[in-house]
Every structure is written in structure tokens, then in C-alpha cells.
Amino acid sequence: MKFPRLTDTTLRDGSHAVSHRFTPEQIRIVVHKLDEAGIPVIEVSHGAGLHGSTIQQGFSAYPEFELLAEALNTVKQAKIASLFVPGIGTSIELKQAAEMGIDVIRIAVHCTEADISQQHFELAKQLGLEAVGFLMMAHTQPPSVLVKQAKLMESYGADCVYVVDSAGSMLPSDAEERVQALKDALSIEVGFHAHNNLGLAIGNTIAAMKAGADQIDGTLRGLGAGAGNAPTEVLVAVLKKMGFDTGLNLSILMDLAEDVIAPMLPYPIVIDRDNLSSGYAGVYNSFLLHVRHAAEKFGVNASDIVEELGKRQAIAGQEDWILDVAVKLAERK
């Protein structure tokens, strides 16, 4: 196995876990320490990507470009990345982020909808950005389908395509099989993004590396949607134990996770009943905060909402189903 490039997405995926309440000061501290620790790529944006601060996705406490500017003004070595979801973000935000000086744009679509990303990959390359494709909810499709979608992204100019376990629903064999299929079919790099709903984020990331993953993701303290992501500091410790010369300062990462990130948590990132239900049912992790709010409002069980969303095979963009399901469950009581 080779050592892949590590992207820390605490300040993007972690935004979900703090209801998008990151402050400029928090951005500055976290970026400074991640940079000091040697993390090569730091992702910063609303949890749902550029222009994600909406009533449907959840409003940010501070304007996203103010937070992005703070990161860009702080960083010295690392590349700054942002997430972009077509239909949430537009070319306006993509151009603005590029003009501000981001290095990497990660373009995320449902894993059967790569065709909607063509104009955004082409624009990203025109703007001189590294362009990374995200095939979200990749557990829902077999490797053959993911290969076809990834090859579309490659044809549009993607520099890397990620297998994304958005629901934390994969087993190690699932991660390895999907990454291997993309490695065999593509001439560009392949990445893997894990969530921890089944307690397998680290194991799945290692399995992806076994299949040749070139890029992997983590978040400090596992801060992320649902049960969180592969914890960056744990992942680095595991890789060091495996004998990799990571070039990363584990001590700084552990201190950052413990002293800075942990106090930000509104609640511990654990595999509770709701998170486990989400992973088992294969429901998009960013739904969970909205599910909990709906469950409380209508006096129903959050796990019952998740189970129904799983049956409906809900995907990103169908958050309106959460209220619909909650209302129907309340009517049955």
C-alpha cells in the first residue's frame, strides 16, 4: 500500500455536526494548527458546499466567504479546498471561490448523476483549479455503475474521483471492491470518503488504501454528519502504526482534536440509535439533524423516520421528504 494524500474536512463535513455555526476565529485556529501539523489539503465551506446556507440545508452563522477568506489568509503550506454541489452552488460561487484563491474544488453529485457535473468540471479547469469528483451514496450502486459515472467525470476533466460512503453504510469489502473497480478503469486518481455509522470508517479507509486509493479524508474528533467521519488524528495514528512515514505531526493533531474541537461539540459524536439506523438503512448522513428536529416537532421516533427514508431510497436534495414522513408517522399515532 502507498500513502495517500489526506484531506481534512473538519471545516466542511464537520459543519453539519455544529449546525453550521463555525466562527472566523475557530476557522483561523483550526486551519493554523492543521497547516502546522502538515495536513496537505484542508476543506472549508458550508457542509452542503458553496452557497449551502439555505433554509433547506441550514443557515450558517457567518457568511461562507468570510470563513473561506479567514482560511485563505491563515494557511501557509496546505491547499484549501471547497465542496461544490450542482443545484446548490452555481457558477457564480465557484468563480468567486477561485478568485479568492482556493486550490481544489470537490464537485459532489449523487452517484448516478455525474452527467450534471460537466459544466462545473470544465469551468473549474478553466479557472485553474484541481477538480475532484465526489460520487455520493456510492453504497447504493454496484461497482460497474460507479465506473461508468467516474469515467464521465474523468472525461469532463476530473483529476480524481472519490467513492463516497455518505451514509456510513459500507463494509470493508464494499469499499475495497468499489475503489478497486475505479482504479482498474481510470487513468486519474481515486479517493475514498468514509462515515462511521457502522463503526467502520477507519477500517473502510484502510480497505480503500489496500485497493490503491490515492486520496483519503478525515475529520478531527470524527466531527461530521451522522456518526462523523474517520477521525483524522486516529487515522494518522493507525497509519503510523502500519509503518507509513506520514510526515504529519500526530501530537499537534491530537491536541487540536482534544483542546479545540471537543469543546465545540454540541453533543458527543457517537454511534447512537439514530446514527446506527441511518447507516443500516443507508440514509444520507446530513439528513440526521433535520430528522431529529422533525421527530421532536411531531412527537415521533427519529429512527422510524430514518427507516422510512431508507425504504424510499432518499438522496441528497430530497430533504423535504423528512417532514412529509414525520407528518405521516404522527397521523398514525
**Residues known to be catalytic:** 16
DSSP of 150-163: HHHHHHHT-SEEEE
Cell of 191: 479517493
Is 284 labelled a binding residue? yes
Is 166 labelled a binding residue? yes
Between the alpha carbon of residue 320 and those of residues 16, 229, 309, 327, the distances in Å are 17, 25, 11, 11
Given 3-state DSSP classes, what are the helix, strand and coil percentages for the chain, each rounded to the nearest 5? 50, 15, 35
Cell 422533525 belongs to residue: 294
Cell 446548490 belongs to residue: 88
Residue 262 contacts by C-beta under 8 Å, 6 or more apart in sequence? 221
Residue 38 contacts by C-beta under 8 Å, 6 or more apart in sequence? 77, 246, 247, 248, 249
Is 193 labelled a binding residue? yes
Is 139 labelled a binding residue? no
Annotated binding residues: 12-13, 166, 193, 195, 284
Annotated binding residues for substrate: 12-13, 166, 193, 284
Annotated binding residues for Mn(2+): 13, 193, 195
